[in-house]
């Protein structure tokens, strides 16, 4: 098991990539803190982690709310005395063209996708420094590298996450903490449920592999980066997109 007895936080773990990552980590032996706004989804993923043979506990929190984040981290430390892995996966979309985007649409995405990453990372970093060990993994996106029509807020947040990753890897590497990011491409998750079939078809055509990615394929990359097998990878942004940006 790659992550045996590691204590891991996965945000946005109620569905999609986050849920797949929580279950994968449980399969690899981690104790998983399943974090999401949706209480029912949290309970379902906790149960799935346990059915996979792992240990898990759930927290219904909004990563944009610092007090809730602090309470979750404090509860974990009280029970386990350590935090080894953080996967900053929580994210939302509120798409609109620049001329049409409201301040609320902009702020909502920045609060969750960028400020939320800052909140949870800052809440765990002192513990990781004391341990002289830890892994922080951030969810960026190919949109954060290349931009995308109608996603000013999302692109800005995901590009900002890359900035976090590069900066923290320099600050925290000497303290035994690795920080990396994944930039997924088009992944078949509930976030695509409202996308028309013809648009999905065009998305597939952009990918040399001819299909959308699976959440489990991103979870596998997270599990590798969280493990000692990736012990010399720090400050990387790994694109997992099926080659769509070639």
pLDDT at 87: 99
* pTM for the structure as a whole: 0.96
Alpha helices in 81-183, H assignment, sequence order: 103-110, 116-131, 142-146, 152-172
- Distance, CA of 28 to CA of 3 (rounded, Å): 5
Q: How many CB atoms lie within 10 A of CB 210?
A: 9
- What pLDDT, on the 0 to 100 scale, is given for residue 143? 95
Classify domain 7-238 at the CATH superfamily level: NAD(P)-binding Rossmann-like Domain (3.40.50.720)
The pLDDT, as a whole number, for residue 210 is: 93
pLDDT mean values, one per 10 residues, the chain (246 residues): 96 98 98 98 98 96 98 98 98 96 98 98 98 98 94 97 98 98 94 80 92 97 98 98 91
Is 154 assigned a catalytic role? yes
Element (H, E) at 32: strand 31-36
pLDDT the model gives residue 130: 98
Give me Rg for the CA atoms of the chain: 17
Can you give the pLDDT at residue 55? Answer: 96
Q: Hey, where are the domains in the chain?
A: 7-238
Place of tokens 């890897």: 169
Neighbours of 119 (CB within 10 A): 24
Which residue in the list 146, 149, 154, 222 is annotated as catalytic?
154
């Amino acid at each position: 098991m790659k992550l045996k007895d590691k204590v891991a936080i996965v945000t946005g773990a109620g569905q999609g990539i986050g849920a797949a990552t929580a279950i994968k980590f449980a399969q690899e032996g981690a104790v998983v803190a399943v974090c999401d706004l949706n209480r029912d989804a949290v309970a379902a993923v906790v149960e799935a982690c346990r059915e996979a043979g792992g240990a898990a506990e759930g927290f219904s929190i909004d990563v944009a709310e610092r007090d809730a984040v602090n309470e979750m981290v404090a509860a974990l430390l009280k029970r386990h005395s350590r935090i080894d892995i953080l996967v900053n996966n929580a994210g939302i979309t509120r798409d609109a063209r620049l001329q049409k985007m409201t301040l609320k649409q902009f702020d909502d995405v920045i609060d969750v996708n960028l400020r939320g990453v800052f909140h949870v990372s800052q809440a765990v970093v002192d513990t990781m420094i004391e341990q002289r060990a830890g892994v922080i993994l951030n969810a960026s996106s190919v949109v954060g590298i290349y931009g995308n029509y109608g996603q000013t807020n999302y692109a800005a947040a995901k590009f900002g996450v890359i900035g976090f990753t590069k900066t923290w890897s320099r600050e925290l590497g000497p303290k035994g903490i690795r920080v990396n990011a994944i930039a997924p491409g088009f992944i078949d998750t509930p976030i695509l449920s409202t996308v028309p079939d013809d648009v999905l078809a065009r998305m597939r055509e952009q990918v040399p592999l001819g299909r959308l990615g699976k959440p489990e394929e991103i979870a596998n990359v997270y599990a590798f980066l969280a493990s000692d097998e990736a012990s010399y990878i720090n400050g990387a942004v790994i694109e997992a997109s099926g080659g769509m940006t070639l």
